[in-house]
Structure 1
Amino acid sequence: MIGEADRDASDLLLEQVNRARSNATPLRIQGSNSKAFLGHEVAGEVLDTRVHHGIVDYDPTELVVTARAGTPLRELLAALDAAGQRLPCEPPAFGEEATVGGMVAAGLSGPRRPWAGSVRDYVLGTRLISGHGTLLRFGGEVMKNVAGYDLSRLLAGSFGCLGVITEVSLKVLPKPRHHLSIRLEMDSAQALGKLAEWGRQPLPLSAASHEDGCLNVRLEGGEGSVSAAHQRLGGEVIDDQYWTALNEHRLPFFDEGLPLWRLSLPNPIGPLALPGAHLIDWAGAQRWLKTDADTVQTLARELGGHATCYCPGATDTPFQPLAPALLRYHRQLKAQLDPQGLFNPGRMYAEF
């Protein structure tokens, strides 16, 4: 379904990339710039993907939607909602004008992540302008590089460092028939214990967070299973909009103050020994921390996870430093797709 306002501007984007190649001009790839607070600031000529927009193909019976990178995320979600479907990974937008390309490039997932999967898990295929000045297609044609990587999924979370995403095909799923959110009073240690226990049982959990002495849980599925789970767990019914506020950082916890850190950790990890305000998300696998401590990434590494700073300028390493072997792989991949280092140089790491 292609609307009158849709526009295929892939030739214009390709022309800008080739002009940058000829002049060795770095490019700052962006859509609405809603996630500019993540990573280092990039100096370069702006390549705005929003000129290239529109839903290219969507057949609800196939559970696949294809959209151009500059398509507003809200338009894509509205089209899915009208058909009774959704992106299960629940990506945050951080702005009304967030784009589909930015969603994939950032690779951020919402509260449903542990149960439904990440953005990467729903990327079926992509089109990409590489640093060689060519328009490539991955996924549908199972095109891989010489190392055998599925590049369509590697682009998720690459923050534009590997190329200009021009089009994305995503797997979608039907919305659940019923949902209910509840709140139970308990401390963080009790909450983590309960979540570990419930994770081994057939409960229709789809979100779990802890803040201010309360465990918040979302139940999704058939009416009978949701009702039975509510009767078993008890708790006060709360507005489902809580999860949107959490996902978009609109809860009071995220108000201005100390630097905000996101920690991705293996389960089960107990309460963290770090000063500051803590919010537990993803049933414990994701922690939000407001602190001025300078040992967050060290602790995350020791616990087998990683930490990202969401506060520009608060640290020289907003993303978790890479181990030498992993850094080598990143450099090799960057060199293959962007040999001149044109795309978002230094956005993630100073080394590339």
Structure 2
Amino acid sequence: MIADNDITPILQEQVAAGIAAQESLNIVGGGSKAFYGNPANGKLLSTASHTGVIAYEPSELCITARSGTRLQDIEALLAANGQMLAFEPPCFGPESTIGGAVAAGLSGPGRAWRGAARDHVLGVRLVTGYGKTAAFGGQVMKNVAGYDISRLLSGSMGTLGLILEVSLKVLPRPATELTLTLEMPDQEAYELTTTMRRSTFPLSATCYFDGCLYLRLSGEPSHVFASHRKIGGDPLNNPDQFWMALRNQTHEFFQQYDRPLWRLSFPPATSVVSRLEGNSLIEWGGSQRWIYTNIPTNLIRNIAQKGNGHATLYRGSLPGVNPFHPLPGNLLAAQQRLKRAMDPHGIFNPGRMYKDW
């Protein structure tokens, strides 16, 4: 059962009070991503009680829910109808909310094949930095009015507005899934996944860890099993458990705390980066690299930048280091203009992404 509780007036009043007092607001859902980004500042404003599914018609492939609705409740509802959130947002605990998932913009194992979180956001309703409510986008896949604003809120970490409601595209669950394991060196794994991405194999996720390549195949049974015969490898027992652990970062790799954990993101088909020394795990056919390392920040970010990617200090902290990769001058200026336009009083999660805004 998903609780239905609309506290829009209360949330709007809290924003209005913050504007009047020029007081910063620390917007949170369930608080499960407090580790991500810079430490929060300001008076707590929680959306956790703002719950309920506003609209869901499985045939429309769309769901609209209030921001405090628990992620696991939404996914249970979708699963009961044979559907899913295809971007597989990580759920860091029962308190994780759908608004927090959109605000953080994190995507799971299938991101490279099924799209990022922002690609699945159809519309949002929010309280703006003027204390008013506004809606952008729509509730159906064909409605694209204001779509860019909806996308911009994904990954904004609550710095652009207080999300009240979000409409998301949903997809049918695959008819069949099979996970294969192949032991091989990292370069061979990279070459195989690159070849597969350019082919018709029904690939939906990859992971390379501890000398083993994991391949998830999703689709019609005939296509999946024919692909298995061509690829080879051994089927993995309990594959759902493996991918869920990877998605929610309960996999053994994410339980290390001796060094900072970096997340590097690259364009597709980026070759293996040999200068990254440390314990690592590779996803998305090589596009996402997780690594525990003490490599100097300027070096790891230069490596990422030379590969047209970026490096995020995902867990842990380093003196004077902003978790998110510095933005180039033109993009930084554009982001600052957007922040001023959406949050003219600078009250929404100031410093959460970058310390100067």
TM-score, structure 1 length as denominator?
0.96
What's the offset of the Cα at 1:307? 1.1
Q: Residue type matched to 1:271 in 2?
A: V
- Over 3 Å counting, the alpha-carbon distance change for 1:339 and 1:188 in structure 2 is same
Equivalence for 1:190:
188
Aligned positions of 1:39-50 closer than 5 A: 39-50=37-48
In structure 2, C-alpha distance between the alignment counterparts of 1:271 and 1:202, rounded to whole Å: 23
What's the offset of the Cα at 1:143? 5.5
In structure 2, C-alpha distance between the alignment counterparts of 1:246 and 1:93, rounded to whole Å: 11
Q: Residue type matched to 1:76 in 2?
A: I
Aligned positions of 1:226-265 closer than 5 A: 226-238=224-236, 239-240=238-239, 241-255=241-255, 256-265=257-266
In structure 2, C-alpha distance between the alignment counterparts of 1:182 and 1:97, rounded to whole Å: 32
Assess if the C-alpha contact under 8 Å between 2:109 and 2:205 holds in 1: yes
CA RMSD of aligned residues (A): 1.3
Equivalence for 1:292:
294
What's the offset of the Cα at 1:345? 0.2
What's the offset of the Cα at 1:150? 1.4
Secondary structure of residue in 1 paired with 2:74 = helix
Equivalence for 1:270:
271
- Over 3 Å counting, the alpha-carbon distance change for 1:183 and 1:142 in structure 2 is closer
Please list the CA deviations of residues 116-138 of structure 1 after superposition, one character each: whole Å capped at 9, or x if unmatched: 10111110000011110010000
Number of aligned residue pairs: 346
Please list the CA deviations of residues 292-332 of structure 1 after superposition, one character each: whole Å capped at 9, or x if unmatched: 11222221111100111112423521000000100100000
Structure 1 range deviating more: 293-302 or 178-187: 293-302
In structure 2, C-alpha distance between the alignment counterparts of 1:314 and 1:321, rounded to whole Å: 15
Aligned positions of 1:14-163 closer than 5 A: 14-140=12-138, 144=146, 150-163=148-161
Please list the CA deviations of residues 192-234 of structure 1 after superposition, one character each: whole Å capped at 9, or x if unmatched: 0111111111101000111111110001000100111111111
Alignment partner of 2:313 out of 288, 309, 315:
309
Structure 1 range deviating more: 244-253 or 115-124: 244-253
Equivalence for 2:342:
337
In structure 2, C-alpha distance between the alignment counterparts of 1:263 and 1:271, rounded to whole Å: 12
Secondary structure of residue in 1 paired with 2:129 = coil
What's the offset of the Cα at 1:237? 1.2
In structure 2, C-alpha distance between the alignment counterparts of 1:267 and 1:174, rounded to whole Å: 25
Assess if the C-alpha contact under 8 Å between 1:124 and 1:139 holds in 2: yes
In structure 2, C-alpha distance between the alignment counterparts of 1:114 and 1:311, rounded to whole Å: 22
Alignment partner of 1:280 out of 259, 271, 282:
282
Please list the CA deviations of residues 215-269 of structure 1 after superposition, one character each: whole Å capped at 9, or x if unmatched: 1000100010011111111111112121111111122211222111111102322
Assess if the C-alpha contact under 8 Å between 2:268 and 2:286 holds in 1: yes
Aligned positions of 1:156-175 closer than 5 A: 156-175=154-173
What's the offset of the Cα at 1:142? 5.6
Q: Residue type matched to 2:260 in 1?
A: P
Which ranges in structure 1 are unaligned for 5 or more consecutive residues? none
Assess if the C-alpha contact under 8 Å between 1:91 and 1:110 holds in 2: yes
In structure 2, C-alpha distance between the alignment counterparts of 1:248 and 1:331, rounded to whole Å: 32
Q: Residue type matched to 1:67 in 2?
A: A
Which ranges in structure 2 are unaligned for 5 or more consecutive residues? none
Assess if the C-alpha contact under 8 Å between 1:208 and 1:282 holds in 2: yes
Assess if the C-alpha contact under 8 Å between 1:38 and 1:312 holds in 2: no
Q: Residue type matched to 1:252 in 2?
A: E
Q: Residue type matched to 1:215 in 2?
A: L
In structure 2, C-alpha distance between the alignment counterparts of 1:154 and 1:43, rounded to whole Å: 22
Secondary structure of residue in 2 paired with 1:310 = strand
Q: Residue type matched to 1:300 in 2?
A: A
Structure 1 range deviating more: 198-207 or 271-280: 271-280
In structure 1, C-alpha distance between the alignment counterparts of 2:114 and 2:144, rounded to whole Å: 24
Is 1:347 the counterpart of 2:345? The answer is no
In structure 1, C-alpha distance between the alignment counterparts of 2:312 and 2:177, rounded to whole Å: 31
Equivalence for 2:329:
324
What's the offset of the Cα at 1:4? 7.8
Secondary structure of residue in 2 paired with 1:309 = strand
Assess if the C-alpha contact under 8 Å between 1:32 and 1:98 holds in 2: yes
Assess if the C-alpha contact under 8 Å between 1:40 and 1:312 holds in 2: no
TM-score, structure 2 length as denominator?
0.94
Structure 1 range deviating more: 10-19 or 266-275: 266-275
In structure 2, C-alpha distance between the alignment counterparts of 1:298 and 1:42, rounded to whole Å: 28
What's the offset of the Cα at 1:351? 2.0
Please list the CA deviations of residues 57-80 of structure 1 after superposition, one character each: whole Å capped at 9, or x if unmatched: 100011110000000000100110
In structure 2, C-alpha distance between the alignment counterparts of 1:156 and 1:102, rounded to whole Å: 9
